[in-house]
A and B are shown apart, each in its own frame.
Chain A
Amino acid sequence: MIDRAQVLHVARLARLDLTDEEVGTMSRELSAVLDHIEKIGELDLDDVPATSHVVDVVNALRPDEPLPSLPREQALANAPEVVDDGFGVPSPGAS
C-alpha cells in the first residue's frame, strides 16, 4: 500500500507536480500494481546474481578519435529559450 504521503514523496523525487486528485488515483493504482508485483517476494533468490543487462559485453571500447560534435546552432534549434549561445532557464531561485 502506497499512501498519499509516499506518493507525494516519490513525486518530489520524480520532479512531477501532481494534482490532489492525481495523488489519490496514483495511491490506489500503484498500490494495486505493487500488490501484484509483490508475488516475487515469495521466490527464493538468495544466491541468484542480478541481471542488469543481457548482452555479455564488458567495456565496449572504441578508438579515441576526435569526431565533430553537434554544431551549437543545431543543438540550440529546439530550445524553448536561448540566452548568450546557451540554454536559457528561469532563476534557480533562493530556495
Chain B
Amino acid sequence: MAATDLIALSARDAAEQIRHGHLSAQELFEAYRERAAADAAAGEEGLNAYTWVAEQAPADAPSKEAPLGGVPLAVKDLFCTAGIPSQSGSKILAGYRPPYTAHVVEQLEAAGSTILGKTNQDEFAMGSSNENSAFGAARNPWDRTRVPGGSSGGSAAAVAAGLAPWALGTDTGGSIRQPAALCGIVGLKPTYGSVSRFGMIAFASSLDQAGPFARDVSDAALLYKHMVGRDRRDSTSLQHPQEIELPSGVDLKGVRLGVPKELTGEGVESGVREAFNATLALAEQLGATVETTHLPHAPHALSAYYLIAPAEASSNLARFDGVRYGLRAEADDLLEMYVKTRAEGFGPEVKRRIMLGTYALSSGYYDAYYGRAQKVRTKIAEDFQQAFERFDFIVTPTAPTVAFRLGEKTADPLEMYLQDFCTVPMSLAGIPAISIPNGLSDGLPVGFQIAGPAFSENRLLDAAYVLEQALGFDGTEVRR
C-alpha cells in the first residue's frame, strides 16, 4: 500500500487490516514515523508537533490479535515513558528519562499500541496556545501562522496533520477539547477518575485527566476503551461502570440538549456562534429537542479554576528543586540552589501560576481565595446536576474563537485564560465532555462541545457520532 493510503486509514481500519494480515504494523509505523520525523526536521517550516520521535518501529511487534494491533500512538510529553525523554514541555526537566511508564501508556501498549513519539505542549500543561513550551511553539496545520491551541497542542496538530493516527493528551481546564477544536479533530475529556493519572507529570491533581485525540469519534471511542480502569497506583481512579462501546447511533430522537445562556453569549465570536447555532438546528432535524437553560455559576468558573488549579500546581511543582532529576543551578548553599534552579528552569507562565497559587494558599488569603473557590466549585457541580435532571447533554461552542495568531494573546494572561471559558466548568464538575469538528469559520476549524453526566461516555460518544456523521466535516486537506 502506498504511504499516503496508509495515512488515510482510520486507526480502527488500520488495526483491522493488520489483524487480517493485509498490512504490517511495521509498515504502518514507518509511514507515520517518516512523516513525524520529517516534520521534526523541518524547523520553522514544520509544525513542531513532536519533542521526540522514535528512531524505528519496535523490534517485537505487538500480537496481531491485540485489539489495537500495532497502530502507533503519539503521546503528550507529560506522560512518563521509561527511558524516553519526558519533560512536560519544561526546561526544568531537561534530560529527564523516567524509570517507569505512565499507567495509561502501559495499558495501551498492552492492548497493542506502540509509541511513535512524544508531543509538544505548554509547559506543565499551563496554557491555551502551546506557546509556553521550552521546545518552542507548535503550529496549527490549517494555518501555520496560528496556534494549535493548548496545552496539548502538539498532539492535536500531529493528529490533524496526519503525523499520527491518534494521540494521548491531558485536559485540566480544556487542554484536550480546545486544541481539538482549533485543529479540527475530535478530543474527549473523560469523567475524572476513569483513567489513572499514575505517571502523568501532575499539574492540578483534582482536575487532570488523560483523554484521546482522534480524527473521528469512533477512533476516539476505541482508544478511550483501552484507557479506562481502576489502578492501584492512583487511589482516585475508578472502574468505569460500563464497557466502552464503539458508537452506533443513527439519530438523536428523544435526546434533550440544553444550551446554557452563560456559555453561549457574550465573548463567543460571531463565526463560532453561527456554526454553533447551525449545528443546533441540525440536531433538531435529527430528532433532538434543544432548549435554552442556565448554569448560573458558570460565569464564575474561570475565577474558581484560576485559583484552584494554580494552588494545586504550586504544591505539585514544589518537587522540582534540582535534587532528584532535571536541571540544577550552581549555588553555594541549598536554599540558593532551590531558588536559582526554579528561576532558571520554569518559564514565565509557570512562574505566574506558582505565584498565584502560593498567594491563594498563603496565610490570611486562604479563606478569601482558595476556600471560596472550592465553594464555587460545589455550586458549579450542582448547576450541572440540576441541568442533567432536564437534559441529557449540555452543549456549547468548545472555544470562543477560532485559532488565533502566534503571539496574539501572549502579552495579556487574562485574555489567554478566557480561551477556557466554555471548557473549565465541566472540568470543575469532573464530568465528561467531547469536542467534535463543527465546520470552518474563515477557513479555520470550529469546535462543538457536548457534556454529559459522570460516566455517560457511551451515550456522549453516540450523540457525538450522530452529529459527526450529519456534519460530514472533511479534514483531509491538512493531512496531505
Contacts and interface: CB of A to CB of B under 8 A. Distances in A.
A95 B374 contact: no
A53 B375 CA distance: 11
B351 A22 contact: yes
B318 interface: yes
Interface string B214-252: 000000000000000000100110100000000000000
Nearest to A80: B328
Given A16-B343, A40-B372, A29 B338 contact: no
Interface residues of B, number: 71
A41 B307 CA distance: 13
B314 interface: yes
Contacts of A78: 95-99, 324-326
Contacts of A33: 306, 356, 413-414, 417
Nearest to B350: A16
Given A13-B362, A54-B381, 14 more contacts: A7-B355, A15-B321, A16-B339, A26-B351, A30-B352, A33-B306, A40-B304, A45-B375, A50-B371, A60-B235, A75-B324, A78-B99, A80-B327, A80-B328
Contacts of B1: none
B18 interface: no
Contacts of B375: 43, 45, 48-51
Interface string B282-308: 000000000000000101101110110
Nearest to B339: A17
Q: Which of A15, A77, A87 counts the most B-chain CB atoms under 10 A from its CB?
A: A15
A26 B332 CA distance: 27
Interface in B324-347: 324-328, 331-340, 342-343, 346
Nearest to A52: B374
Nearest to B320: A15
B414 A89 contact: no
Given A45-B379, A57-B235, A32 B430 contact: no
